[in-house]
Each structure stands twice: as C-alpha cells, then as structure tokens.
Chain A
Amino acid sequence: MISLGSVLRDLTRPDPGAERLVPPTGTGAWLTIFSAGVMAFLAVFALALSLAAGRLADRWSDALARTSTIRISAEAAQVQAQVDAVMAVLQSTPGIADARPLSDEEERALLAPWFGADLPLDTLPIPKLVEITEGGDGYDPEGLRQRLAAEAPGATLDDHARWRQPLAAAASRLRLLGWGSLILILATTGAVITLAANASLAANAPVLRVLRQIGAQDGYIARAFVRRFTLRTLGGSATGVLVALVAIWLTPSAQAAEGFLTGLGFTGAGWLLPWLLPPLCGAVAFAATRAAAFRKLAEMP
C-alpha cells in the first residue's frame, strides 16, 4: 500500500541514483509530453462543454419554467379590448406574480432578427403578446386556458412546455456527453501512458535484469520509471491546459443569453477548475506506469 505522502515525496525529491538508472530517451519523452498535452487540451474543452451545457440547461429551464406568454390575435379594433380582458383574467388567477403586455418596441426587438429593426408593426397583423411571470407554486395552465377561452377568445396560452422539455433534455445530454468525454480522455491518457511506459520498460529490459541481479528491489526500479513518466505527464498536461485556456479566453465572449458555442467557456472561479487536470493526469500516469513497471518486473526472476 502506498501513501499519498510517499508518492509526493517520490515526485518532489529527486533520487539521482535511481534517476540515472534509466537511459535518457529523446523521441519517446517528447511523444509522452505531447500526448499528455493534447489530451489535457481536449479535456479542457470537454470540461468547458460540460459546464457550458450545464449552465445552458439551468438557464433554459429556469427562464422558460418561470415565464409564459399569451398571444392575442384579433381585429385591430378588438386588440385592446382583448388585452384588457386577458389582464383582468390574469389579475384574478392565483400563482401569477406579474403580467404585462409587451410594448411595440419589445415586439419589434423580438422580430428584428428576422425582419430588421425598422419593422412597421402598425401595418402588419402581428399578434399582441402578454408576458406572464409565475409566482409561488405557479398557476394551473388548463384552468387558465378555459377561462381565457371564455373571456378572450382570441387569446392563446403558451406555457413553453413544448420548448422547455426538449431543450432542457438536450442540454442535459450535452452535459453528460461532456463529462463522458472527459472520462474517456482521462482513460485514453492512461492508455497512452501505459503504452509508452511498456515500450520504455521493454526497451530497458536488460537494465531491469541487471538491477534485479545486483539486488535492487522492484519498488526502487519502478520509482525511476514512475517519476519520469509522471513528471512528463504533469508538464505536458499543464502546457495543454494553459494553451486550451488561452484558446477559450480568445473565443468571442457572449452575453448571458447567447447561444451555446459563444457561451463555451468558464466563469469566475471556474477558470481554476481546469488546473485540476494536470494533477489528475499525473495521478493517472503514476498509477499506469507503476502498474506497468511492476507487471514487467514480475516477469523477471
């Protein structure tokens, strides 16, 4: 059983005696560092994806769940009467905290992305919209629909349920996809490091045999490999995280309500979260190399 203290001691206190046992390798070392860097880079994006998807799911759920809209379609002369009727119904409906008709400017802003900013609302048969904000435990949508049908026949309640559910479900799946990707990337890091360690151990089999013959214990021999691969992975993944954070930081920023791609990033202390990846990758490398080293040594007398 190895303790965290002994692991940290091994990593932070170099043992020149053990270090020099393993011949220096050029290409292999750089490939390990490069692989760790790329994996960490991808892991940061997976983490960002997951966090962004989580934020989006929460935002959509909250925003859509707490608001709904009544659309009033009527002859121009009847519109105001219908609006008044709807407002009267809403004022006497429990579970509604606030209700207000959207102004022409607000409706124009809603339609601007499709028709431009100078849309002449007066000349178009645009329905009037009333925005409802729920309060307390919310209102009964079926009851409200029946009352609206009786008092304001041109009014239609849209409680956003048909929008909210698939959007929230999609965002939740995206979040799961992000976490799943992160786990897969860490597993792949472990596999890559294991392959590199196995290659190094195989190439150094004569060294291992000599060391066993002169009385070196497995732990002593393994330490040289484990320390080397762990530090390479730590260095590579730290570089990968740094590059990924810079890339995300350079991504065009977004306002709170913007789309998914422009919302891919970290907020506040979330920028520190990716820095958990290098120690995590280091731990994966430590475990993978240690297991590979002891497995290889067990084949030797």
Chain B
Amino acid sequence: MTGMLSKAGAVASQQGNRVIAFDNVAYSYGGAELLSGVTLALQPGSFHFLTGPSGAGKSTFLKLCHGELLATQGTVTLFDRDIRGVNRDGLARMRRRVGMVEQDCRFLDHLPVATNVTLPLSVTGREADPQDLSDLLHWVGLTRHAGALPPQLSGGERQRAALARAIIMSPDLLLADEPTGNLDWDMSLRLLTLLVELNRMGKTILIATHDLHLIRAAKTQVNARVLRIRAGRLELAGADL
C-alpha cells in the first residue's frame, strides 16, 4: 500500500480550490423533487459523511457528484468545471480522478477479481504494478480471491473489491455509497483506516452511510464533517453524532 499511497500524495497538489461545488442544485425525477436548493463546496482534503433516511437522496447526491445524473436546476462543479459543459470524453477523464464505490457493486463478471480491480488502469492504457496490486488485495483481504470471478464473491467481498478498484487510480476524490453495508465491524474499521490514510494524503472523501458507529469511529481519527439530507435539503449535522 505504501507505494500506491505515495503516488496518491503526488497528485494531491494538482487539485483546484474546490473538489465539488453545488450551487442551488435541484434534482427531480418523475415529477418528484428529490433534492432542492443544495449549495455546498467540498474543499480538497476534506472528509465528509452523508447521512439521511433511506430514500432521502444520498445515492442521487453521489451520482450528481459523479456526473451519472445531471441536476435539473443549478450547477454542479467537479474539479472547478461545470459538469454540464463537459463532453463525454472529458467526463470520462474527470471520472479517472474520482473513485466510486456503489451499493450494488458491479463488475465485469467474466474477468477475475484482480483484473476487475485493475480495470481503471487498463482503460487508460496503464498496467498495475504487481506489488502494489498484491498489497492492495492483501489489504482488502482478497488475496485468496484474486483469481476468482466476481459472482463467486460474497456481498462483503464484492464491496472490498469495489473499494480496491476505486482507489487503485489514487483518485483525488473518493465517493462511497454505504461501503460498509456488508462488512463486519473489524473489516469496517480496516476500511475506515484506509480511508483516513487516503484523506491524510490529501484525498477528499465523501461517504454516504447509515452507520453511526462508523461515523463516531472516524471522528476520533480525522476531522470529519457530517452532512444530512432531510426533506430534500442538505444540512450540516450537529455534534449529536
């Protein structure tokens, strides 16, 4: 992991003033407004949790950050560029700076786990350093499953594989949607330690989670802020967490 993280640190200084900025953003789907009046700016190197009840729009918020959804109103800026004004190739290049861990971790089921993990490098014509890959798989506890196919993994193993894939490019921003949803507490803490380590390297972290224990554990290690979505509005949660 050391090699990979040192490379991560090298790109941290390339970030602009704001990694993500929402300016009065609203998002509607099927006539219902899921988010409205969201204004937010995440500074480089910040660590945020995003909470809220199920269906509040946490996943939608992350997808807006990732350019998978476009705001129906307002402006979403990623790395100081308005996502709406970026063409498809430009968006693809921006996504290489973003690691994304979704709830329903999707893989190329015909390729082994190790190949899936290195896919973000492959699509940019790069090859993974074997030692870095080995360290990464060891760290997420998937060394034994490197040659397995994704359908052979359990839910927790899939989440760990997705996390490994998300960070192999040393992204400037990591978005994670319930990354510990299928993990036991020990593995959750190991994951948290990795995220904190990445954050200390200057990476920006945004995690959508229900797991209050995880948030409390994080607060003991890093200056994490908690955002909450309530009734379609985004607010900064207080010290109650």
Contact = CB atoms under 8 A, between A and B. Distances in A.
B123 A206 contact: no
Contacts of B111: 20
B115 interface: yes
A45 B39 CA distance: 68
Nearest to B63: A301
Interface in B85-113: 88-89, 92-96, 98, 100, 102, 106-111
A301 B69 contact: yes
Contacts, number: 63
Interface string B62-74: 0100111110000
A215 B94 CA distance: 7
A215 B107 contact: no
Interface of A, helix, strand, loop or mixed by DSSP: helix
A212 B92 contact: yes
A251 interface: no
A213 B94 CA distance: 11
B124 A215 contact: yes
Interface of B: 63, 66-70, 88-89, 92-96, 98, 100, 102, 106-111, 115, 119-120, 122-125, 165, 169
B95 A21 contact: no
Contact of B88 (A207, A209, A210, A218): A218
Given A17-B125, A23-B110, A206-B106, A214 B68 contact: no
A24 interface: yes
A210 B111 CA distance: 13
Interface residues of A, number: 22
Contacts of A209: 106
B108 A217 contact: no
Given A215-B95, A215-B96, A210 B123 contact: no
Nearest to A23: B110
B92 A217 contact: yes
Contacts of B88: 217-218, 297-298
Given A301-B68, A301-B69, A214 B106 contact: no
Contacts of A249: none
